[in-house]
Structure 1
Amino acid sequence: MSTSSNPASISGVEPPEFELRAARADDFGFARRLYMNSMKPLLMALDAWNADEMEMAFRSYFIPDEIKFVTLDGRDVGWFQVSETDHDVCIDQLYLIKDVRGQGIGTALVKSIISEAADQDKNVCLSFVHGNPAHTLYRRLGFRQVSEDDTKIHMRYETRQAG
């Protein structure tokens, strides 16, 4: 899937052409490095970094059937994971390498997930670590905070009517 099927970002920035592909067995190393490099500074700032716990968490999170990789000009630049319940589509993970952040790729991905959830009459939920700059993106796209804990903020995008 290329960005031509994804809506432009709210800010008016047209994302570069990217592709999505299914996860493969050999993607584990790249995904793990990107996850650890993204999470470590955020959790260290909260005095909550524990390398062993993060390794165990990543291994439990990495479910290839739920994961798509983002490629740009033939190279992997990120990955995301989506799971579903009866009423929700959950963005469980979303990571982009530093040099492609801020170009509208994340916005296009999240908007596409929102659109697919709305087509299924489902809401969208996500959680992220305090201090993650993606917080502004999620607010801009219409997500509302529903709770938080010591390390994470939990948000929801309502696409369906209650009841």
Structure 2
Amino acid sequence: MTTTQSWRDHLHLRKYTTDDIAFMQTLYASIREPELAMTNFNTQERHEFISQQFMAQYIHYTKHYCTDKFFIVEIAGQPVGRIFVDHWDNEIRIVDIALMPEHRGQGLGTHLFQQVMDDGKRLSLPVSVHVERNNPARFLYERLGFKLKTERDDVYLLMEWRPNTL
């Protein structure tokens, strides 16, 4: 397990550019692969599905959110994930966070969340994030103090963390 200080020493966040689209699509595919493994799609169909779904998500994010804090996560100059955050008047929304499989479970996601939560403390704003009901990341969010805000039985659940100052 890597410490917070170690992540600070090795981690770099940089604003995404359109040059990052190929990496982001690969990252997106790594997240969707377990789900697609349960389908009868052939390789070409999987690729087409991932491309279509990724572009739909990308267009949605760039149309509906401020992209000023849409970052590529790098370690030693290599992209390993993304964290997209949007600041609103009444909350900070983690629009998306994803790490390549080989960088999951090492404390990096916790570190990234803690950075956003530190912003929430400093600005006295809650931090929110959507998560799919069965996504294992939900356990991480709960461990970090996020509580369910969604009251309906939706596929995507809204979770919220509130600083003690609220």
Q: Normalising to structure 1: TM-score of the pair? A: 0.78
Tell me if 1:41 matches 2:34: yes
Tell me if 1:96 matches 2:99: yes
Q: Deviations over 1:67-106 (max 9, x none)?
A: 1111112210000100121110000100100001011110
The verdict on how the C-alpha distance between 1:24 and 1:87 changes in structure 2, with shifts beyond 3 A counting, is: same
3-state SS, counterpart of residue 135 of structure 2: coil
The structural deviation recorded for 1:54 is 5.2
Partner of 2:139: 136
For the 8 Å contact 2:145–2:161, the answer to whether it is kept is yes
Equivalent-residue separation in structure 2 for 1:53 and 1:79 (angstroms): 17
Equivalent-residue separation in structure 1 for 2:161 and 2:153 (angstroms): 19
- Choose 1 or 2 for highest CA Rg: 2
Give structure 1 regions of 4+ aligned residues with deviation exceeding 2 angstroms.
14-17, 39-45, 51-55, 62-66
The verdict on how the C-alpha distance between 1:158 and 1:64 changes in structure 2, with shifts beyond 3 A counting, is: closer
Partner of 2:85: 82
Count of aligned pairs: 149
Partner of 1:61: 61
Amino acid at match of 2:159: M
For the 8 Å contact 1:87–1:123, the answer to whether it is kept is yes
More helix by share: 2
Say which is worse superposed, 144-153 or 123-132, in terms of deviation.
Answer: 144-153
Q: Normalising to structure 2: TM-score of the pair? A: 0.76
Partner of 1:48: none
For the 8 Å contact 2:80–2:99, the answer to whether it is kept is yes
For the 8 Å contact 2:30–2:100, the answer to whether it is kept is no
RMSD, aligned α-carbons = 2.8
Where structure 1 has 5 or more consecutive residues not aligned to the other structure, the ranges are 9-13, 46-50
For the 8 Å contact 1:146–1:155, the answer to whether it is kept is yes
The verdict on how the C-alpha distance between 1:110 and 1:26 changes in structure 2, with shifts beyond 3 A counting, is: same
Q: Deviations over 1:5-63 (max 9, x none)?
A: xx46xxxxx65822111112201221122124314535887xxxxx4455323322146
3-state SS, counterpart of residue 86 of structure 1: coil
3-state SS, counterpart of residue 108 of structure 1: helix
Greater RCO (Cα-Cα under 8 Å, separation 6 or more): 1
Amino acid at match of 1:29: A
Where structure 2 has 5 or more consecutive residues not aligned to the other structure, the ranges are 39-48
For the 8 Å contact 1:34–1:95, the answer to whether it is kept is yes
3-state SS, counterpart of residue 14 of structure 2: strand
For the 8 Å contact 2:28–2:54, the answer to whether it is kept is no
Amino acid at match of 2:160: R
Partner of 1:21: 14
Amino acid at match of 2:28: Y
Identity %: 27
Equivalent-residue separation in structure 1 for 2:133 and 2:111 (angstroms): 22
